[in-house]
Structure 1
């Protein structure tokens, strides 16, 4: 037990902190990224795509609320899949989570660079990204409580700016910007246009599912985790509809579909780039991007830490700061690699990799809800998914549909994603499965279940 205790994180978070972190890690999706799917989907197609993704995320959030109260470990999605389907599937689920957040960090850094360039063209976006990576890695090394305080300020400023844009922009939206002129198609790409927009609609919700990664740092995860997750997804669904309607109604579909700074661009298209709100959104609006940027750094560090602690990744990645109890190596090394990605790739391509990794973990988590209900009906579940099994099945089906949307969006990057998981599979069988650490909390809990199952089968065999 002492060995396990030395591997655990510090408990400080409450439901309000979880809501702040959950909304904060996603809120940049309102400021940047969602608009890249507009050329094919149009406004109506994007709304349909958002509706499908909102259902998928809302239903998945109900499922992971159950899982996070039954299995309150830092491994989050990896620990759920490990318990339900074994170490190999657990490992691949963890790789999907790492891919999601590790790639999301440079995507948001690119968005921050675009917003900074809107204000100060002389500032290099890569330099800005580097400064932010260093700053937030230091914040996360200092501690989760200190990060939560800073994130609270960032989130409330970002939310206030969005509300201000709705207040000023909604009365000025042009119907023709939303629905086109004359006989122009409401959905330019038809059904395939909606399909292709799904990965970008995801960007308005992607990362809310990271909250279970903080279970080990939450004071009472069995009560607090469902409150934080469910309040967060409700907030994000409301924001997604208001943001897309206001921005497209002001800026139009054609130009908005390529804008790297969509909110200042939308306001500028109607009021002029020098209008006070355009300038505020471009400057203070950076806060929304920064809030998410800091959140995804937190998320990838926790999943890398959990997999390293369990032996699937090299041991040095789970090293904790002696006094702060924070995983500093899982913060620093991925940050350095993220800077390289900022230089090499475009954000619309990276979004496809991030969403693919996310969807792999979503499929796995929904399956975990279903499998554990059947496999372990007596597992203590302080919160249970309502309308089971309808809710996890619908979320699972939508996740499977969405993962193949990447195929239509960019075939090359679809196969890059598939190749990444193929390489992870080779790595697991060649190295990781031989180095699993039985003292990691997720592994201890799963092995207890494995032993109980084995003992039960033995007793049953003997009685026969």
Structure 2
């Protein structure tokens, strides 16, 4: 591979933990609450539990894959190696859809939090400023981004923990479980199923870390540490955040709030209470941390697919001195800002989670297929309790994929249509322009010729 297409290696296990938690942490501040009307507290806890198992088990699998195949393609490269170029391409489209759509969702949340503090500020202008600022940061370099992300993540985590200390003694059992005679799960089983995409928002994006493999100092050692420490942190946060927020405000007000944490605190203590104001102001840091992370994620997947020839070549151009994929950062950012203007966040979440689940299904399948297809592939980390763990994660991802039926059937078909267009594009153009010199493609070709030869990874 030409040095002109190589990313700079600067990241450690600590950086991976920071980026992993940072890209997801906005899910605590915004988005998960949209599923509450159908699920209630108990139903949401069940949905969170189901999704927590899916993500934890998937993280074991992607830790194995990322150490065996340490490339920027991440999910695309796993599926490409296991199932061929078509499956790899569709997996990459799922990943791009996930993060490309997640960016405007989080941008809308940022606008809502700013509007809570300063009603005269246009939330769309605030979103535009965020897009511009972080596009510049990511073009400057991933190490610089990681340093900034570390500050943002520790502030965001500190604020959430502060909310736990202040809020836990004040939670109301009636807010959590409803008045006597109220059903614990308003929508029953369908309510839990409808809540799954929103419960995913508390974990969605941790799986982007393998896309940073090429930028790690030692991917084989650091990637499992970063991924698994990140998901454990998020599992703890998911239960505490939902319990405290619902316990402070109840379901009705929280289920439609664009700024659920300040809303929850204000419901008990008043709008002028210091913590409500701090969460609305400094709490923006959590959203900003995730927003910057999703830009990193979609730019790396677009870069990898472009480098391999599936997408137009200009999207893999690197800045001559910073070695960052500037075109893959800028163009999707402009389109994402248009989505901020045109769509509601709860609808966009469904498209983002649909794309994510397609890639989850593919990655779990890749773990299983590669174990059978290439048993001698060097795996510095191996999934425990194989094949139980990837099979369970795979089944749960398939179940969650169809949750959009219950949340919004229209956007389920919108998501299906996106993949339909992608399939037509693949056979009409991308299939005939694959770059066999891209690392993911090169490694897959050589593995077929010499199955036992895995030295290219080193």
TM-score range, shorter chain: over 0.9
Counterparts of 1:267-286 in structure 2 under 5 Å? 267-286=265-284
Deviations 1:320-369 (A, max 9, x none): 00000000000000000001000000000000000000000000000000
Rounded Cα–Cα distance in structure 1 between residues aligned with 2:228 and 2:264? 30
State the 1:265 CA deviation: 0.2
- Tell whether 2:126 aligns with 1:128: yes
1:234 offset after TM fit, Å?
Answer: 0.1
1:415 CA displacement:
0.3
1:449 deviation in Å?
1.4
Distance across 2 between alignment mates of 1:260 and 1:141 = 30
Q: What does 1:313-352 align with in structure 2 at a 5 Å threshold?
A: 313-352=311-350
Q: Equivalent residue for 1:16?
A: 14
Q: What is the CA–CA distance in structure 2 between the aligned matches of 1:259 and 1:332, rounded to whole Å?
A: 30
RMSD of aligned C-alpha atoms?
1.0
**Structure 1 residues without counterparts, runs of 5 or longer:** 456-464
Mapped to 1, the partners of 2:16 and 2:151 lie a distance apart of: 14
Give the distance between the partners of 2:452 and 2:356, measured in 1 at CA. 33
Equivalent position to 2:396, from 386, 395, 398 = 398
> In structure 2, what is the Cα distance between the partners aligned to 1:371 and 1:136?
38
SS in 2 for 1:311: coil
- Return the alpha-carbon distance in structure 2 between the equivalents of residues 254 and 86 of structure 1: 48
1:144 aligned residue? 142
Instruction: Give the number of aligned pairs.
Output: 453
Corresponding residue number in structure 2 for 1:291: 289
1:450 is displaced (CA, Å) by 2.3
Q: Which runs of 5+ in 2 are unaligned?
A: 454-458
- 1:31-74 Cα offsets, whole Å, 9 max, x none, are 00000000000000000000000000000000000000000000
Correspondence list, 1:28-427, <5 A: 28-427=26-425
User: Which secondary structure does the structure 2 equivalent of 1:118 belong to?
Assistant: helix
- Could you report, residue by residue, the CA deviation over 1:414-444 in whole angstroms, capped at 9, with x for unpaired residues? 0000010010000000000100001110000
Q: Given that residues 32 and 201 in structure 2 are in contact (C-alpha distance below 8 angstroms), is that contact kept between their aligned partners in structure 1?
A: yes
Distance in 2 of aligned mates of 1:449 and 1:408: 43
Which consecutive segments of 4 or more residues in structure 1 shift more than 2 A? 450-455
What corresponds to 1:26 in structure 2? 24
Deviations 1:124-169 (A, max 9, x none): 0110011110100000000000000000000000000000000000
TM-score normalised according to structure 1 size: 0.97
For the pair 1:6 / 2:16, whether they are aligned, the reply is: no
Once residues 407 and 306 of structure 1 are traced to their aligned partners in structure 2, the CA distance between those partners, rounded to angstroms, is: 32
Which secondary structure state, in structure 2, belongs to the residue aligned with residue 304 of structure 1? helix
Distance 2:286 2:452 in 1: 50
Q: Report the 3-state secondary structure (helix = DSSP H, G, I; strand = E; otherwise coil) of the residue aligned with 2:403.
A: helix
Aligned partners of 1:6 and 1:278: how far apart in 2? 49
Deviation at 1:454, TM superposition (A): 13
CA distance in 2, matches of 1:454, 1:445: 12
State the Cα distance separating 1:272 from its structure 2 match: 0.1
DSSP-derived class of the 1:6 partner: helix
* Alpha-carbon distance between aligned partners in 2 of 1:141 and 1:180, rounded to the nearest angstrom: 49
The superposition leaves residues 73-109 of structure 1 with CA deviations (integer Å, 9 ceiling, x where unpaired) of 0000000000000000000000000000000000000
Q: Tell me the TM-score normalized by structure 2.
A: 0.98
